Chain A
Amino acid sequence: MYFGLSEDQIFFQDNVKKFLEDQAPLDSIKKITEGENLEVKKDLHQGLINLGINNILIPESNGGLGLDLLFATAVSQSLGEGVATLPFIGPYVMAPIVIKYGAGDDQREKLFNDMSQNLINFGVGFSEYFGSRDSSELSISDNKVSGRTLFVLDTDFASHVMLADKTGQIGVVSLDSNGIEIVDLTTVDKTRSYKEMRFKETTIEILEKTKSSTKAIEKALDAGRIINAADSLGASQAMINKAVEYSKERKQFNRVIGSFQAVKHMCAEMTAELEPCYSLVWHAAHSFDDSSEDSRLMSCLAKSHVAEVSKMVAKKATEVHGGMGFTDLLGLHFWFKRIGLNRHILGSPEIVREEAAKIQGL
């Protein structure tokens, strides 16, 4: 029996972490979020691809690494910790899972082969399936898609998008097609970008197995939620580390503020709440990899629980920094906002908890 990340997983995770620490310091992140440094962003993306993050879930027979979701979870922690300004969850987690469970045999081989060589890159727009807002709607028929969908993820380097309608049917659209309008959504979290996409009779290739089964979208959503939770986990750990570090340096009343119990207890509370989240997220990823009975439930619990804990950490860690925590100068807000976004992407906690209740037949 062994509960935790393997040596290989920790090694991969550390590589991503170190890469981001070296190549994407806060100054650089700031510039990217201000719309500058786009070349740097491209280089960062290429650097992570060189580490293999695009190939984690692609089968070895198609040129991928053939690893599992727990591996991707370990990597996602590092991306959250380093507030990476890069796509991950859409193209490198949800897309390959959709293909695995939803594509026909020929579709699968072609897509996986192209993805492993980075010839094709997916944004993901599944909001219509789990939570349509603002009267959005996509209608798919006769290999054409029309309508609009919000919060399409990870389009930065995308050549294609995967779209789902409310029934869970999934199709692939090339961004070179006619009849596509892409609208930038400006969220508080500028480390990643989100789009509204509008379609008018745009050509779409439906993935064969999603016509009659929701398994692909369910699996993709389960995996996406776990990866999302892992990102918040990493971001929260970074915030706690920064708070503890700051409290050991900052002096008031002739003492470092970290010697006051009021401050110490805030740090202890954050740690006590976050530590079990690691176990929950890893456990959920393992359940997913194992296809165990409770894997859908575990994913919902991980997503919704980490959303709550990370929100608490984001607030308390900022408070430990006092006024400095509130400034743009310190940049702590990048983590705060990333956690705020993660909370609502792929289902807000209340929505996910209701789903968890239904999954259990309650």
Chain B
Amino acid sequence: MDLNYGSEYEGFRKEVQKFCKKYSGVTITNKKGGALTSLNAVADSDKSNGQKVTRSEWQKILIKNGYFARSIPKEYGGFGGEIDIIKNRIIASEFASSKIPPPMGGQGIDMLVPTLLELGTQEQKEKYIKPTLHGEMIWCQGYSEPNAGSDLASLQTKGELIKGNWVINGQKIWTSTAQYSQMMFCLVRTEPDAPKHAGISYLLIPMDTPGIEIRPLVDMTLHAGFNEVFFTDVTIPETNIVGKRGEGWAVANATLGHERGSLTNPNATMSRLNLLIDRMKEETINGEKIIDNPAYRDRLIKLQGKVMAFQSNALRVLSAKLNKGQDVKMAGMIQKLVGTELRHELEGFGIDIMGELGTLYEDSPNIRDGGSWQFTYMYYLGLIIGGGTSQIQKNIISERGLGMPREPKTQQGA
């Protein structure tokens, strides 16, 4: 066991800390469109009077310093550095404990860019990656449909090749940030006669193409976090395909892991726990501090044990990435399930320690932390369901991890 990253990395950490100090208090003026947009808005609610920058300006500052898009080649707008997991981790943890905006996330950056780097044509890489990294081209993901959720491969949105163009008809749902997006990467059934998984293609659709209609879908947090997107004879060039016809399922799966990994950040969970402890020291009931109440104290430490276990687990997963041949069994496979459930529980406890005050929302008087405990509590219920539900995660753990048998074929339907 050796938890030191080495002196080279301590120097790097100091550099990052210096950067974080320099830009402490920076706020972003137009942050719409990144994933977790509303979450970031809440997190920034204790506004400082720092410098204001646009999303794109901030992205460029980060890239120039190597704190974002580190390993993406310069020719596509990245920093052009070596892949270095430890440096990425140091950046993430220093950013999480500083008052500066994190780099933009979102499906374009987390999912499309890695996909194009791996499977895109030279032209696609040149055209799409740079503006995406700069936050100038926002992407949404067109995967789920009303009748294709956990069983995604049964999707029915149709793409026909007519006179050198794809003509798309159908409907997508749960489309985050569609209303801010310039582009969609989309799974479409282009080979209706092929078996379920082999009939899908991965298409890139400009969102201003005629025939696209976006209807906001307000979620339980009362934010329009999602949309329904309708396609009526939407026509795009034949070349807007990643991979070959009918290979869309494999193209999408090449990067699905990126999404699952990005949903659960142990550093963020730990900083939330520390904030929760601060609140317990401040909040009172009948003049007694919550932290002095034995029932709440016990729940807090119970939660702390879980958070610590999750954080240690992330170190173990990291170790396996750095040390070839280290077998960490199912430590990676459980992260989405455990991370989202844990965060949901933590945020719910944040509500509980405030009791009635914990139910205040929106712009209510007496509200604490801008209502972020309620918001995040609900938001994480969304993440428990999205990106492969907890139940699907349990299927994956039991079938792929423990080698338990799949459901019999007869149960799978047509």
Contact = CB atoms under 8 A, between A and B. Distances in A.
Nearest to A2: B2
Interface in A194-219: none
A275 B277 contact: no
B334 interface: yes
Nearest to B2: A2
Residue of B309, B316, B399, B406 with highest tally of chain A CB at under 10 A: B309
A296 interface: no
Contacts of B398: 258, 264-265, 267-268, 271
A298 B301 CA distance: 11
Given A259-B407, A267-B404, A1 B313 contact: no
Contacts of A279: 309, 312-313, 315-316, 331
A113 B407 CA distance: 60
A300 B300 CA distance: 13
Contact of A353 (B4, B277, B302, B404): B302
A252 interface: no
Contacts of A357: 297, 300-301
Given A247-B404, A264-B399, A357-B297, A1 B5 contact: yes
Contacts of B408: 255, 259
Contacts of B395: 261, 264-265, 268
Interface stretch (A14-22, A33-41, A131-139, A301-309): A301-309
Interface stretch (B123-131, B178-186, B321-329, B377-385): B321-329
B308 A280 contact: yes
Interface string A30-50: 000000000000000000000
A308 B294 CA distance: 18
B413 interface: no
A72 to B, nearest CB: 13
B87 interface: no
A282 B312 contact: yes
Interface in A270-301: 271-273, 275-280, 282-283, 286, 289, 298, 300-301
A4 interface: yes
Interface in B1-42: 1-6
Contacts of B305: 280, 301-302, 304-305, 308, 353
A269 interface: yes
Contacts of B313: 275-276, 278-280
Interface in A226-266: 244, 247-248, 255-256, 258-259, 261, 263-265
A350 interface: yes
B1 A3 contact: yes
Given A275-B313, A279-B313, A286-B3, A2 B397 contact: no
Judged by DSSP, the binding face of B is: helix
Given A244-B404, A256-B405, A280 B302 contact: no
B397 to A, nearest CB: 4
Nearest to B397: A268
B330 interface: yes
A268 B393 CA distance: 8
Judged by DSSP, the binding face of A is: helix
B222 to A, nearest CB: 31
Given A301-B301, A354-B298, A4 B326 contact: yes
A154 B107 CA distance: 57
A11 to B, nearest CB: 14
B301 A356 contact: yes
A264 B297 CA distance: 34
A308 B3 contact: no
B1 A265 contact: no
Given A271-B401, A280-B309, 6 more contacts: A256-B405, A267-B398, A271-B397, A301-B304, A305-B308, A362-B277
23 contacts: A1-B2, A1-B5, A2-B319, A3-B312, A3-B316, A4-B1, A248-B403, A256-B405, A261-B391, A261-B394, A264-B394, A264-B404, A267-B402, A271-B401, A272-B338, A273-B338, A278-B316, A282-B312, A353-B298, A353-B305, A356-B301, A357-B297, A357-B301
Interface of B: 1-6, 86, 277, 280-281, 291, 294, 297-298, 300-302, 304-306, 308-310, 312-313, 315-316, 318-319, 322-323, 326, 328-331, 334, 337-338, 391, 393-395, 397-399, 401-408
Interface of A: 1-6, 70, 244, 247-248, 255-256, 258-259, 261, 263-265, 267-269, 271-273, 275-280, 282-283, 286, 289, 298, 300-302, 304-305, 308, 350, 353-354, 356-357, 362
